[in-house]
Amino acid sequence: MKTRKMTKTMLTGIALAGALAATAMTASAADLKIGVLVADVSGEEAQGFRSYYENYIAENYDVEFVYTDALEDAAGEKAAIEKFASQGCQAIISLSSSDRATQIDTCDEYGVYYAIASGVLDDELFETYKGYEYFAGQVGPGNATEFEAGKAMGEYFKAQGVTSVAMYGAFIPNPMHVFRAAGVIAGLGDTYGGTNDMYEMIGQIFADQKIDPAKVEGDVALTAYLQGYGDTTTDEINAAIQKEPEAFLSVGMATTFFTQMLNEAGIPFADIDSFTQANGTAIKEGQLVYLAGKYSSSIGPVFALIKNAVDGNPIRDEEGNAPSFSQGYLVATDGESFDEYYVADNGDAPIYDKETLDSIIGADVTYEDFKALVESK
């Protein structure tokens, strides 16, 4: 009797799954199907990107986007590409960076176009893969751009006459954060381990796995340094506040973790993040005084690269290789400049709207057209 009940329970579960499956059997009708590899699914920036693709691009072009769940490692990325290929995706846009080389190799194997929308390949890898037929290119801040974004932040505070700062290195040794942090130190006019050369600095930071305050020398004092997730650094932020730095410089996620405490302490802070609602509140009502950010439609050109490639006009540079376009950060230092980018990029009129994108989509579009537009924004 019990056994019958067990079998029934088990089969009911399977039948339910079957019913669910039946309801889901609807094939795509769009002309273009693009798979998007995502590592961070919950951040405001990620959601902003997704919203732009699904709500704006999908409405204005005959395209369907398919997203992965949060990808954890290289194997997950490769499996996701294989599944996208099986599902008939003609292209992949990558927002996940565990193993970009394998991503490109896999796309090449399955004949699926591939483009990078977040982070870029380092020079060596780019050299290796730029000639691959299915590598459509990359658009975004390169490592040097990340360094420059940090440097600009440092210079801004140095110009304000700040003499002591605390720093948040976010998720160092994440390369993006390493480059930004090195840039901040350079921008402040300080040295790290006796150097202000970008490559020498980041080499040391990777080896240290953090910023070692003892190695920072110069006019602007680094009074405190912390890194890691916000919940693990509560005590450290309190200790940092106790040292009364004149500014708190973060290379990412500061508004997510520390806004309230820094507002209460009255310490001005800076961050490299996105133009999101939370950051708008922080800059208008709180102590956020400097924000270097991306905007949601900044991934528009990547879509254009893919669309052109699938339509038979892959954009190639002068040497016939996949293009790499650098995309800088926009900087807001008050509510007004914030709104300029935030409000302008939302709703039905994003910065990369249909009209703008149409200028770089089509059979006649060239590498120069692309470069001119992307680097102007």
Binding interface with other proteins (CB under 8 A): 1-3, 5-7, 9-10, 13-14, 17-18, 20-27, 41-42, 66-70, 72-75, 77-79, 82-83, 85-88, 97-99, 101-102, 105, 110, 122, 125, 143, 173-175, 178-179, 202-203, 206-207, 209
- Please name the helix (run of DSSP H) or strand (run of DSSP E) that holds residue 282, with its range, or none: helix 277-285
Query: Rounded to whole angstroms, how far apart are CA atoms 117 and 130?
Result: 15
| Residue 46 CB, nearest approach to other proteins (Å) | 10
Q: Shortest distance, CB of residue 1 to other proteins, whole angstroms? A: 7
DSSP string, 58-81: HHHSSEEEEE-S---SHHHHHHHH
Q: How far is the CB of 25 from other proteins (least distance, A)?
A: 4
Residue with Cβ nearer other proteins (67 or 367): 67
Of 43 and 218, nearer to other proteins (C-beta) is 43
The number of CA neighbours under 13 Å toward the Cβ of 18 is: 6
Q: In angstroms, what is the minimal distance from the CB of 206 to other proteins? A: 5
Residue owning tokens 């290195």? 169
Taking the least distance from each CB to other proteins, the nearer of 175 and 230 is 175
* Shortest CB 281 distance to other proteins, Å: 24
Residue 277 to residue 77: CA distance in whole angstroms? 30
* Number of CB atoms found within 10 A of residue 76's CB: 18
Token pair 């693709």 in the structure block, residue = 53
Instruction: For residue 278, give the amino acid letter.
Output: A
Q: How far apart are CA 41 and CA 37, in angstroms?
A: 10
Whose Cβ is closer to other proteins: residue 174's or residue 333's? 174
Q: Measured from the CB of residue 98, what is the shortest distance to other proteins in angstroms?
A: 5
Q: Which is nearer to other proteins, 12 or 242 (CB)?
A: 12
**Ramachandran sector of residue 362 (left: φ over 0; alpha: ψ -120 to 50; beta: rest):** left
> Judged by CB, which is closer to other proteins: 105, or 246?
105
What's the rounded Cα separation, in Å, for the pair 4 and 10?
10
